[in-house]
Chains A and B, each alone.
Chain A
């Protein structure tokens, strides 16, 4: 409790607010190490228990196929210990960055979430209220059941600060990741309103990529998208600066990533059952000629069992519980990757991989080249 109150003081919160749900990042042993593990264990031993439903981000490995991923036994044991401590405290081990797909979140709910892509989704698409809390803070908030009443918890913060008019990009829906990355990099903070959307932009898969990419290049926690965000209001746009991105802006971002050849890696954010079905449908009559790896959650897998089986028969690897950002693809002998998410592109490049960024359709075509 003391930690949450103190953070509230530092952030200038007048008081705390009850939250209905928490989501914690910093789950992978690779990221939090022995000290993170010891910390979680000691909390569990001292009797700490989550007081609201709490889910967790992906771990550093697929819990059943970790050997296939080249993960060492030592790593696997430590990772399982981390998860045991979290389970002991009452967390649901969703092991996904898309918790909104598997738990019921309602308009106006106050949350304590610490995965930036999920925070952007909750605020922008669902109209729920959460700041971009850090992993340890969200953990404490989940234990206490409340969060400092600041930032995105307040209505006054949930109004647009700038307008992005996409009318120059009407046909460029194949660059949603680049667009998100561009807006984030240009704005850094605030609440951009997005108007005059390209065709198909509003498909959930595009929104997920767009929002995850904004979160990567900025501290933005919310956007207001015309026709999609429940809190979008035309009236609020009056008097704000208007930016009209050009196709060349997006091409520049795409071209800042380049690899000649690579493994196609999709699932940042985790693929939904619908996205898996769409991929399975597209690969129904072909076979991948390049290595292709998909990341999703076990909850999604339950809903798309047959499609995953079909994809595996076509030569695609599918892993659960983890993702390309929090595991080491190097353990699978991978150095070069092709991704459709600017978030994955950014983090993999900073981890030393050679990366190319393309749209999902282009990545699929690439994976099936010469078929």
Chain B
């Protein structure tokens, strides 16, 4: 099984694995993701109707209300959170959300990620200065 390792900047330590869910658009967790189901409910969003549960969620950065940080925590407590997040360049909403919810987070991936990695199995690993995403290509 060919594997590709993509390094990035590690922000919140941890490891997780799951299918990749890729969004070319920013995500607002407050109002955009239902905290009771983990499903993306923002109208017109390219991931509308998809669940973030146990996914390696890849999106450019967060947007919207900073209450979004608490929504990540809500999702985690209910077992509905992504197993890891990769941003192009993160901002405080996602960063603080991942910190308080203990969701592994890296940003600035060295390779530009695109839609064709959607659905691939992947693993995220973040520990201090070492952060990478391992994508399994079948």
Given the known inter-chain contacts A6-B95, A134-B92, A137-B92, please indicate yes or no for A31 contacting B67, CB distance below 8 A: yes
Determine the distance from Cα of A194 to Cα of B42 in the docked complex, in whole angstroms: 35
User: A-B pairs with CB below 8 Å: how many?
Assistant: 65
**Chain B residues whose CB sits within 8 angstroms of the CB of A10 once the complex forms:** 11, 90-92, 95, 107
CB atoms of A35 and B73 under 8 A apart: yes
One digit per residue, 1 when the CB lies within 8 angstroms of any chain B CB and 0 when it does not, for chain A 99-130 equals: 00000000000000010000000000000000
**Chain A residues whose CB sits within 8 angstroms of the CB of B93 once the complex forms:** 134
**Partner among A2, A3, A6, A32 whose Cβ is within 8 Å of the Cβ of B67:** A32
A34 part of interface (Cβ distance < 8 Å)? yes
B69 part of interface (Cβ distance < 8 Å)? yes
B70 part of interface (Cβ distance < 8 Å)? yes
CB atoms of A6 and B99 under 8 A apart: yes
Which chain B residue lies CB-closest to A134?
B66
Interface positions of B (Cβ within 8 A of A): 11, 30, 35, 65-67, 69-71, 73-74, 77, 90-93, 95-97, 99-100, 107
Which chain A residue lies CB-closest to B90?
A10
**Chain B residues whose CB sits within 8 angstroms of the CB of A180 once the complex forms:** none
A-B contact list, 18 entries, CB within 8 Å: A3-B96, A10-B91, A10-B92, A10-B107, A31-B30, A31-B67, A33-B35, A35-B35, A36-B67, A39-B100, A133-B66, A133-B92, A134-B93, A134-B96, A135-B66, A135-B69, A136-B70, A140-B96
**Chain A residues whose CB sits within 8 angstroms of the CB of B92 once the complex forms:** 7, 10-11, 133-134, 137
CB atoms of A26 and B67 under 8 A apart: yes
**Chain B residues whose CB sits within 8 angstroms of the CB of A34 once the complex forms:** 74
Q: Report whether over half of chain B's contact residues are helix, strand or loop; otherwise say mixed.
A: helix
Q: Closest CB-CB distance, B123 to chain A, in whole Å?
A: 23
A361 part of interface (Cβ distance < 8 Å)? no
CB atoms of B70 and A36 under 8 A apart: yes
**Partner among A3, A36, A135 whose Cβ is within 8 Å of the Cβ of B99:** A3
**Chain A residues whose CB sits within 8 angstroms of the CB of B97 once the complex forms:** 136
Q: How many residues of A contact B (CB 8 A)?
A: 23
CB atoms of A35 and B66 under 8 A apart: no
A68 part of interface (Cβ distance < 8 Å)? no
Q: Closest CB-CB distance, A71 to chain B, in whole Å?
A: 19
Q: Closest CB-CB distance, A25 to chain B, in whole Å?
A: 7
**Chain B residues whose CB sits within 8 angstroms of the CB of A36 once the complex forms:** 67, 70, 73-74
Determine the distance from Cα of A25 to Cα of B69 in the docked complex, in whole angstroms: 12
Q: Which of A22-41 contact B (CB under 8 A)?
A: 25-26, 31-36, 38-39
CB atoms of A137 and B74 under 8 A apart: no
